Structure 1
Amino acid sequence: MVIRTFHDLTAKLLAVLEDRTITERDDKIERITKLIDHRDELLSQIKPPFTGEEQQLGRAVLLLNQQVNHLLKLQKQEIQRDIQEINKKKRLSNKYTNPYESLSVDGIFYDKRN
């Protein structure tokens, strides 16, 4: 049953997102991506009519998806925060290595008398 497999993959995805023991972000992102890709393949195979059990699994999947979406948004925000910090450190480092690069030229007066 495709919906059962889809439900199980969604539960695994939720477990990976909640797992705090995975210290390598790249490893975690790779696992998340594989699970999402596999779910996408299965999603195209889910077609009505549904049995009562399949409808219950579908409702459970919807609830799991809400949690997954929330955790994915948190993960995205964390990555964006890290990128902003890295960019800030780059700018500060660049100002330190080349302090005169960003000097403004305000106050220059050009005399255009003939």
Structure 2
Amino acid sequence: MSVVAELFHVTKELYELLHQPAGKEQRDETIEALQRLLDERDLLIQKLQPPYSEEEQELGMQIVSLNEEIYEKIQELKRQIQFDLKSIKQKKIANRNYMNPYQPLSLDGMFYDKKR
């Protein structure tokens, strides 16, 4: 099997992994599989050397089209993770304020009257 064909199979596997619905509970496993496939794909890309046959060029075009969709799905996954981290941070702040409502407040913005 040529390097281009192996690269196509790994790219296709990556595409299918990203199109499977994954809940928050399975996100860590999905990210680990994603990282493994990206590393494998990186090694295959480094092994690529021209000249390419017509069949390999056709596979290359399919790889490029899959790459665009893979990129969009990875960006979507990144946004979901960022949103979850932001909501966790907000919950943490709300919990801290609930547990200690009389904590010293910030003095920024206070006005002191200096009349004599």
In structure 2, stretches of 5+ residues that fail to align are: none
Give the partner amino acid of 1:7.
Answer: F
Residues 22 and 30 of structure 2 are in contact (CA less than 8 Å); yes or no, is this contact kept in structure 1?
no
What is the TM-score when the length of structure 2 is the normalising length? Answer: 0.87
- TM-aligned CA deviation for residue 2 of structure 1: 0.4
**Alignment partners' CA distance in 1, 2:113 and 2:100:** 26
Amino acid at match of 2:54: G
Pairs aligned (count): 112
Contact 2:7 2:44 in 1 (8 A): yes
- Which residue of 2 is the match for residue 18 of structure 1? 19
Deviation at 1:102, TM superposition (A): 5.0
TM-score (norm 1): 0.89
1:87 aligns with 2:89: yes
User: Whole-Å Cα distance in 1 between the matches of residues 32 and 80 of structure 2?
Assistant: 16
Separation in 1, partners of 2:27, 2:114: 55
Q: C-alpha separation between the residues in 2 aligned to 1:21 and 1:75?
A: 10
- Which residue pairs with 1:31 in the alignment? 33
How far does residue 20 in structure 1 lie from its aligned partner after superposition?
1.3
Supply the distance in 1 between the matched residues of 2:92 and 2:58 (Cα, whole angstroms): 51
Distance 1:102 1:38 in 2: 53
Unaligned ranges ≥5, structure 1: none
Alpha-carbon distance in structure 1 between the residues aligned to 2:78 and 2:57: 31
The one-character-per-residue Cα deviations of 1:86-109 (angstroms, maximum 9, x if unpaired) are: 000011111112223351332345
2:46 is aligned to 44
* 3-state SS, counterpart of residue 5 of structure 2: helix
Separation in structure 1 between the aligned mates of residue 27 and residue 104 of structure 2, nearest angstrom: 35
